[in-house]
A and B are shown apart, each in its own frame.
Chain A
Amino acid sequence: MLEFKLALKNLLGSGLRTWLNVTVLSIAFVIIIFYNGMLDGWNMQATNDTRAWETGAGQFWHPDYNPYDPFTFADSHSKMEEGILALEEKEMATPVLITQATGYPGGRLVNILLKGVSPNQKILSIPSHLLKDNPDDPYYIPAIIGNRMAQNLRLKEGERVLVRWRDANGTFDAREVTITGIFKTTVPTIDAGQIWIPLEKLQELTSMTGEATYAVISPNAADLPEHTKWIYKDDKALLKDLADIMAAKKGSSRVISSLLLAIALLAIFDTQILSIFRRQKEIGTYIALGMTRMRVVRLFTIEGTTHSFLAILVGMAWGMPLLLWIQRNGIPMPANADQAGVAIADKITPYYGGGMIMATVLLVVLSSLIVSYMPTKRISKMKPTDALRGKLV
């Protein structure tokens, strides 16, 4: 199209100012992609890790179980229903039992959750196989904890800690557990404040034989039982907290992105106003040569918008190697960057999705189009004879 050819010539002809605008816009473009890529990468990592370590493909919950209210734990346990048991049989489900308890590491008092998990389960990544029993000692209880918990309790592998709990009848009982493994996970919600022991041991200690609080479903599970009393929570429901936090983070990144974009767009807007003001004679000449005013409007709009095409090209030229380098090396996150229960790895690997990149391209082009078009209203009101005289409008 003629307008594109002319726009490009005009832009390249005006030299430094064009490249300044293009550079600023390309920086905004690359930073927006970087931010979104980082959040998307984090989100994917957190989601995958949370699925692998905590939520599985879905869960069946005891109807009274409310993970936000530890007081419900005392009553939210029962034997599992037929359908869920059948899944467990096929290793498509693994039950977890939760009991509130108190730990006494080095004489301190710490509220904890005792969680029972089967040492043989393969659905969750938690290394439950480290829960090795000692057949010679009937009182021996193996336990695994995450490294946050290990730090908090100042416990090392092989050390013991006294734990006290109430059994099903409300009677207090206490026993020492031996730390047989410390695992490292990005998912804080299965780590902080929790001690994992073999499911059968916990059932025995609490006189809750065969009972559980919830069951984690394997991603390979085909037909799930229907009409159960236990409530099925799907992947989406289980990851809702994570999704909410990520949405909030996206929101704040959007603010930063918009600010950056606004600065770049302001520069283009300014350039447009100036160029329409300074190039009145040229506008008059276009009209004398046989363009309609609307066509001149189109020419100037395309000219302004072409900044964004150039910015995307320039942004790709310097941004792509940079972003790919960051992707290869990951973004190191400070230790203890755990935020509000979001799983966060030592390093975030940004993910630059095609959809996100396309959306960013569209955002940059459309917003440039708008700020390029707005000032051209002056042209459509300009009288060609005034324009030719270069009279100020």
Chain B
Amino acid sequence: MNNNVVNLENVTKRFPAGKTEFTALNKINLSFGKGEFAGLVGPSGSGKTTLLNIIGSLDIPTEGKAIVLNKDIGQLSHKEAAALRNFGIGFIFQTYNLLPVYSVFDNVEFALLLQKMPSDKRKKAVMEALEWVGLADRAHSRPSTLSGGECQRVAIARAMVKKPQIVLADEPSANLDSKNSHHIVQTMKRLNQELKTTFIFSTHDEKVMQYLDRIIYLKDGMVEKDEQIITK
């Protein structure tokens, strides 16, 4: 095959809508290489989240083939899909989705606990990830005491701590002000360059778009335009 981390072939997703079906994704053909910093852009309902969910093995295509890190998403067992997410894919959500009763440290540590990483290695990795996002001094705070921007940085640390090959970020800046939006995208861009992690965003946000190397325009579940940005 090739060096792509994601290969989508004719990926179609239909949802039952009353008696008929609603086509949220219509024959999507896309691939993402290692180290890409790409974004899905498009109006609400165009299928951005649906596509990210399939790449993230949280959902399966109705038709077509989605190969992620050499795994066929449609063929994975629950356990295999969970392992793929645990080791290979980091998620960043619009609403941060931090676990409220855990400290910042515990939140970031969580994925490593699932990986059964030994404790000393784990502690080092968590602190390193918190350094990346500049929150090492807040390790023992509760998420409820952090600002939105800080929460999203914790979420980035949580996604990055396991050094996944792919990070999927669904509208990561939608709840943030402009300063924080810039900050988190810059952070992700830096990590993208340092660790060669593939980032795939979904966004409406101009501020995010200006950092992207590639913008894929979706409309009605189809790829309208796939644009490489060469300017630096």
Contacts and interface: CB of A to CB of B under 8 A. Distances in A.
Interface residues of A, number: 23
Contacts of B217: none
A289 B59 CA distance: 14
Interface string B67-85: 0000000000011011101
- Among A10, A12, A384, chain B packs the most CB atoms within 10 A around the CB of A384
B113 A287 contact: no
Given A288-B85, A290-B87, A388-B93, A9 B102 contact: yes
Interface in B37-84: 53, 56, 58-59, 78-79, 81-83
A388 B171 CA distance: 14
A248 interface: no
A282 B82 contact: no
B150 to A, nearest CB: 18
B95 A9 contact: no
A281 B95 CA distance: 10
Interface in A360-387: 383-385
Given A2-B113, A290-B85, A385 B58 contact: yes
A291 interface: yes
A13 B101 CA distance: 5
Contacts of B59: 383-385
A43 to B, nearest CB: 47
B99 interface: yes
B17 interface: no
Given A282-B99, A294-B78, A385-B53, A289 B111 contact: yes
Contacts of B85: 287-290
A291 B101 contact: no
11 contacts: A2-B114, A287-B58, A288-B58, A288-B85, A288-B91, A289-B86, A290-B115, A292-B78, A292-B81, A293-B78, A294-B78
Given A288-B97, A289-B86, A385-B58, 6 more contacts: A10-B101, A13-B100, A281-B97, A282-B97, A288-B58, A291-B86
The 10 A-B pairs with the shortest beta carbon distances in the complex, nearest first, are A290-B86, A13-B101, A285-B97, A292-B82, A288-B91, A384-B58, A290-B85, A292-B78, A290-B114, A385-B53
